Chains A and B, each alone.
Chain A
């Protein structure tokens, strides 16, 4: 590479990094600013204050702890559901032979094409009939039911099980293992990479989701972080530091998960990207 080329190359890289990172530094900076400094162009606050954090941890209703607990509870629950159902179905579609397999798998592929927005009205009607649109704890069940299974994850899991070598199975079969033992003793332990991928991507998608929580969750004590941000943005229209504190606090866990989990995510994001 010539020197000029190299410099222009790096200046593009650095320029775009600034474009992606500085806005987040700005939200961090604003969350520590007193109200009168908000629109000043200093990145380091002149008089840093924790007032905004005191507000989101204490004064707002529901407070940050509640929003965080709801987001965590819902995301973890959905991760567990997706892991169980995607592993079961993915294994059966990839490694077992049974009448009707191809037709059923075609149904699964078809489910990937149904957008959430089409499900909105009938799902809502159904949840009302089931009595899950309420302010009590069973309201959480509505979210778990909506998000119980993901066709993209079943597809992903199947693709992974398909690539496993036949020899592994044969060895266990000679030892007399049936299909169920094969699944629990051979397949699952060797599927850690794809299980981790499904878990991380599902967690991220559910943690960040605004659409379903904003429609289903009835009581403020059930709100998730994105829904809370939407609500408080209206309430605090001009008081930016607390809103920015919420933005920062809601992004840190997902950033930590990504930084920690990045190396476990196998290159199958393509298949799962269709999910919300």
Chain B
């Protein structure tokens, strides 16, 4: 084979490889461009219109955005979502980390405990929330346990009606989701723990470090990738709270809008008031918040090799 024909055959192979590649990605990329990129642009476009059930009437620029920030219920929804996220994320991360450390030690039955702790994470939010509403009812099991420990639940400040009192509804949902999500967080921490070399901790123990010192100065810094991941995905998930809110509080986020979240607010604007332009603007606001958080998570993408580990 002469060198020229060799080169052309290599060029030919390169071209055919490109053609095959385009063949492979054509449908997936078309779907992405249509279902995500196109839809995103369309969302921004809709958000600049007064767009009701009869379709768009006129372009109103940023008025939908202005309107959002002057609506007390929207501000309440933002406050609820942010309060929820700021409380649930540290709680579920801390429980997840604690559970991961527990089941990662050499103990009998660690496999059983791992499955048991992950258990609430696999059921649907609809099933779990419905069960939770039942357990938290004034006559339910939770109050029964409290009474067993001598708490006079009917005479509590909320009469033991945890989900139908505006002072305790959101905190109850925080408790619910800390319980269901910490199993998932545990798995993320476990994945990271298994890549951590135990020789650092062992060396520190040899040098006379206490358990507490090993934890704070060795284990915690080594788990940085998991911390970043758990907090970022936790925040993104928390800001999208919808299922639990509509199941427990209905579309109004009852009682007294205490379970009104940003996503539930979008749902209402869209399907009860048919203000599509306005609903789309709220969606864009939510995206901006989530996008900012994802940019913070970027450092995680930098260490992507870690999450592909077997």
Chain A interface size, under 10 / 10 to 19 / 20 to 34 / 35 or more: 35 or more
Once the chains bind, are B35 and A148 in contact (CB under 8 Å)?
yes
Q: Within residues 27 to 42 of chain B, which ones have a CB less than 8 A from any CB in chain A?
A: 27-29, 31-33, 35-37, 39-40, 42
In residues 118-145 of chain A, which contact B (Cβ within 8 Å)?
Answer: 118-126, 145
Tell me if A113 counts as interface (CB < 8 A to partner B): yes
Bound-complex Cα distance A178 to B179 (A): 51
| With A121-B276, A251-B124: A114-B117 Cβ-Cβ less than 8 Å | no
Q: Is the Cβ of A124 less than 8 Å from the Cβ of B270?
A: yes
B21–A118 touching, CB < 8 Å: no
B294 close to A (CB within 8 Å): yes
Q: Is the CB of B21 within 8 A of A101?
A: yes
Interface hit among B72-80, B156-164, B212-220, B278-286? B278-286
Q: Which residues of B contact A53 (CB under 8 A)?
A: none
Q: Please determine whether A271 and B308 come into contact, CB atoms closer than 8 angstroms.
A: yes
B 186-207 binary contact with A (CB < 8 Å = 1; else 0): 0110010010000000000000
Tell me, rounded to whole Å, the shortest Cβ–Cβ distance linking A273 to chain B. Answer: 5
Mark contacts of A239-270 with chain B using CB atoms, 8 A cut-off: 1 yes-contact digit, 0 otherwise: 01001101100110011001100100011111
> Any chain B CB within 8 A of the CB of A217?
no
Q: Is the C-beta of B69 less than 8 angstroms from some C-beta in chain A?
A: no
- Which chain B residues border A226 with CB–CB below 8 Å? 124-127, 243
Give the residue of B125, B131, B140, B188 whose beta carbon is less than 8 angstroms from that of A244: B131
**A24 at interface (Cβ–Cβ under 8 A)?**
yes
Q: Is B310 an interface residue (CB 8 A)?
A: yes
What number of B residues sit within 8 Å (CB to CB) of A?
90
A4 CB within 8 Å of chain B = no
| A270 touching B21, Cβ below 8 Å | no
Q: Which of A86, A97, A121, A183 contacts B270 (CB 8 A)?
A: A121
How far apart are B270's CB and chain A's nearest CB, in angstroms?
6
The answer, yes or no, to whether B256 is at the interface (CB within 8 Å) is no
A187-216 vs B, CB cutoff 8 Å, 1 = contact: the mask equals 000000100000000001001111100110
The reply to whether the CB of A41 lies closer than 8 angstroms to some CB of chain B is yes
Asked if A47 lies at the interface with its beta carbon under 8 angstroms from chain B, I say no
Across the interface, do A269 and B270 meet the contact criterion of CB distance under 8 Å?
A: no
Complex formed: what's the CA distance from A273 to B185 in Å?
Answer: 10
Query: How distant is the Cα of A167 from the Cα of B294 in the complex, in angstroms?
Result: 37
The reply to whether A208 and B123 contact each other, CB–CB distance below 8 Å, is yes
A115-B290, A233-B130 given; 13 more Cβ-contact pairs under 8 Å: A16-B99, A41-B144, A88-B27, A88-B28, A97-B21, A115-B286, A117-B266, A118-B40, A118-B284, A121-B270, A122-B43, A124-B270, A244-B131
